[in-house]
Amino acid sequence: MIKRHPAWPSVLCVLVLGLAVEAGAQSKGVSVIRAADMKPHMAFLGAKEFRGRSAPSAELDIAAKYIALEAATIGLQPLMPDGSFFQQLPVEVTTLSATRSHIRVSGPAGELTLHFPQAFTSSVRTPAEWSATGGLIFAGTALSGAQPAWNDAEGDLRGKFVVVLERPTAAGAAQAGSAPAARTRLLREKGAVGLVTVISAEREKALAGNGLGFDLAERLRFLDVDTVNPAPPSPPGESASAAAPAPFPMVEVRHAAAAAMLGMSLEELTRWFDAGRRGQVVAPHVYPGTSLNVAVAFDQHRRTTPNVVAWLPGSDPRLREEYVVIGSHHDHNPPREGRVFPGADDNISGCAGMLAIAKAMMVERPKRSVIFVWHTAEERGLVGAYYFVQHSPVPVEKISANLNLDMISRNDPNAIYLIGSNKLSSELDASFHEMSRGVKLTLDYKYEDPGEPNRFFFRSDQYPYIRYGIPGVWVFCGTTPDYHTEGDVEEKADYGKMEKVVRLTYLVAMDVGNKSAPLKLDLHPEVKTRGAHNMKVVWQRPRQ
C-alpha cells in the first residue's frame, strides 16, 4: 500500500496551476497568429514592383529594411555587433561589359559595330573573357531543327560563325533538336568558330514591347563563405569531377542586329521565322567577304546583400544563452527579359509567418532565446544560411534547432511537408507530431529522403544548419505549376493554411525553447556535437 504524503495535494495543485498558466499563455500566443495580419506583408513584399527581390539588388535591400522595421515594431531586438538588424554578405558581381563587348561586322557594305545589351548578349555562362574572329554562314534551320537534319548542314563551317534561328515548332512547343551540349560538340567537330543565335520572334516582341535590351546576366561570387566542403553528392550517372571543356563562343542577337549582319531587311527575316514556324526548311547561305569579330569582356564590382537578424531574449536566466533559430529567405529571382517573378509563396509567405511568430512570442517568451533570421541569397545556393552559421553572432554550439519556413501558403490546406526533422534529433520530429494534433495538420514525409529525385533535402535553408550538426527542418507546402514563374502571386495564397502552418511552427518553437536541455543528437552516427566539423559529413542518397 502506497503511503500518501500529506503535502502532495498542495504540490499537485501548484503543478496543475503552473501547467494551466503556461498552456493558457501559449494558447493566447496561438490566437495572436492571424491570417489577417500576414496578408499585408504578403501583399506588399510580394508585389511585382519589388522585381523579384534578387540578391543583391536595391529591391531586396528595401524588403530587408521593411522586415527590420516590422521586427523592431513588434519588439524584437537587433543582434549584430554593430547594433543593427543587418548581417551584410560581401559579394563580387561580374556582368558583361557594355563598353568592352562588341560584335564587329566587316563586309562589302562596310563595317558595323553591335553593342551589348541593346543588340546582343553572350550565351556562355562563364566569366572568362574571350574574343573570336571568323567568316559567316547562315545554317538555315538545320542546326535548330529536328534531329535528322543535324548532320545535314550544308557548307563548310570551318573558321566560320554559324548563324541559326531560335524558333518553336509548328505546334508551338520548344524545338525538339539535340541538347545544347550536342550542338556545341557538333560545331566543334565541324571546325566552326562560334554560334550566333537569332532570338525567337516571341522573345523579340517581348523585348521590343518593354523597351528593353538583354539582361545583365550577373554572375556572383560570394566572399567569406564556404558552401561546398564537400558538395552534395552528384545525381546518379553524373561525375562531380568531370572536367568541363573550354567554353565555345556563343552569342544571341536581336532581329535588327541579325538583319544588319546578314544584309537583309527585317521583313525578310520575319519571313524566315514564319517559314520555320510552318515547318519549312530555310536554306543555308554563305556570306563570302563578310567576317565577324566578337569580343566578350566583363566588369566587376563589390556589393553587399543582407541577412536580417533579430532576437528575443529568453525568459530563463540560465537558458537564455541557448537559442532556437527560426528562419526563412526573403530573396527570389531576378527579372528575365521583362518578365517579373513576384515570389509570393516563395518566400514572402515564410517571411510573413516569421513576423506573426515574433508577435505571438511577445505574449510569453520561451525560456531559450529565439533568433529570427531572414536569409538572403537562398536562390543563389543557400548562401545566406551558410553565411549565418559560419559568422554567427552567437556560438553555433548553443543553437538547439532551426525551423525553416519556405513556401507555406499553397496546396493541400490540411497537410504540410517536413524535410529534415528526422535526420539529427528524434525530439524535433516528436515535437512536430505532438504539436500538430492541436493544429490539425497532417505531416507528410514524401520529400524527406535525400535520395528523392527532386533533391529537396538539399534545396532550402535548413540544410546548412543540418550540415553544422544543428537539428533543422524545412516546413514546406510543395511546389506548384507557377513555381518560379510570374504566376506566384499573393492572390493565390491560402491564408487559412498559412495560419495553421505558422501556428504549428510557433508551438514547436515554444516546445523546443522550453525544454530542459538542447535537442539531443541521436539519429546520425557521425553527428554527435554541433559545429563546423560536421561539414565533412556527406549526406548520401539512400534511395536508388
**HEC profile of 392-442:** CCCCHHHEEEEEEECCCCCCCCCEEEEECCCCCCHHHHHHHHHHHHHHCCE
Of residues 185 and 333, more confidence is placed in 333
CA dihedral 485, 488, 489, 491 (to 10 degrees): 140
Residue 149 has pLDDT above 80, yes or no: no
pLDDT at res. 143:
54
Which grid coordinates belong to 115? 553593342
Q: What is the pLDDT of residues 330-361, one digit of tens each?
A: 999 999 998 999 999 999 999 999 999 999 99
Q: What is the pLDDT of residues 420-454, one digit of tens each?
A: 999 999 999 999 999 999 999 999 999 999 999 99
Residue 416 has pLDDT above 70, yes or no: yes
pLDDT at res. 183:
77
Cβ proximity of 400 and 459 under 8 Å: no
Question: Once rounded to an integer, what is the mean pLDDT over residues 171-190?
Answer: 63
Residue 64 has pLDDT above 50, yes or no: yes
**272: confidence class by pLDDT, cuts 50, 70, 90:** very high
Residue 43 has pLDDT above 60, yes or no: yes
Cβ proximity of 427 and 352 under 8 Å: no
pLDDT at res. 457:
98
**141: confidence class by pLDDT, cuts 50, 70, 90:** low
Question: Once rounded to an integer, what is the mean pLDDT over residues 62-79?
Answer: 99
What share of the chain has pLDDT > 90, as a percent?
75
pLDDT at res. 155:
63
Cβ proximity of 124 and 276 under 8 Å: no
pLDDT at res. 244:
53
In terms of Cα–Cα distance, which of 501, 308, 443 is closest to 387?
308
pLDDT at res. 15:
39
> Strands 323-329, 369-375: parallel, antiparallel or unpaired by DSSP?
parallel
Cβ proximity of 381 and 227 under 8 Å: yes
**313: confidence class by pLDDT, cuts 50, 70, 90:** very high
Q: What is the pLDDT of residues 251-262, one digit of tens each?
A: 999 999 999 999
Cβ proximity of 232 and 540 under 8 Å: no
CB contact set of 247 (below 8 Å; sequence gap of 6+): 124, 126, 128, 130
Crossing angle (nearest 10°) for helices 201-210 and 266-277: 130
Evaluate the omega torsion of the peptide bond into residue 117 and state whether it is cis, within 30 degrees of 0: yes
Write out the residue limits of the CATH 3.40.630.10 domain(s) in the chain. 33-91+303-536
- DSSP symbol at 268: H
Residue 21 has pLDDT above 50, yes or no: no
CATH number of 33-91+303-536: 3.40.630.10
| Residue 221 CA, distance from chain mean position | 15
Evaluate the omega torsion of the peptide bond into residue 347 and state whether it is cis, within 30 degrees of 0: yes
**124: confidence class by pLDDT, cuts 50, 70, 90:** confident
CATH number of 98-232+245-296: 3.50.30.30
pLDDT at res. 363:
95
**245: confidence class by pLDDT, cuts 50, 70, 90:** low
Question: Once rounded to an integer, what is the mean pLDDT over residues 317-325?
Answer: 98
What does the alpha-carbon distance between residue 118 and residue 10 come to, in Å, rounded to a whole number? Answer: 82
CA distances from 349 to 169, 325, 388, 499, 544 (A): 38, 17, 21, 10, 33
Q: What is the pLDDT of residues 512-544, one digit of tens each?
A: 999 999 999 999 999 999 999 999 999 975 554
What does the alpha-carbon distance between residue 93 and residue 84 come to, in Å, rounded to a whole number? Answer: 25
Of residues 247 and 507, more confidence is placed in 507
Write out the residue limits of the CATH 3.50.30.30 domain(s) in the chain. 98-232+245-296
Q: What is the pLDDT of residues 206-231, one digit of tens each?
A: 999 888 889 987 899 999 999 987 55
Q: In this structure, how many other beta carbons lie within 10 angstroms of the beta carbon of residue 497?
A: 22
> Could you tell me where the DSSP H helices lie in 75-197?
180-189
In terms of Cα–Cα distance, which of 182, 128, 132, 183 is closest to 160?
132
What does the alpha-carbon distance between residue 348 and residue 488 come to, in Å, rounded to a whole number? Answer: 10
Question: Once rounded to an integer, what is the mean pLDDT over residues 477-493?
Answer: 97
pLDDT at res. 346:
98
pLDDT at res. 411:
98
> Strands 102-107, 442-444: parallel, antiparallel or unpaired by DSSP?
unpaired
What does the alpha-carbon distance between residue 138 and residue 95 come to, in Å, rounded to a whole number? Answer: 29
CA distances from 355 to 46, 348, 373 (A): 15, 11, 11
Residue 18 has pLDDT above 70, yes or no: no
Q: What is the pLDDT of residues 112-121, one digit of tens each?
A: 999 999 999 9
Of residues 147 and 106, more confidence is placed in 106
pLDDT at res. 182:
76
pLDDT at res. 234:
52
Question: Once rounded to an integer, what is the mean pLDDT over residues 320-329?
Answer: 99
Rounded to the nearest integer, the mean pLDDT of the chain is 89
- DSSP symbol at 346: I
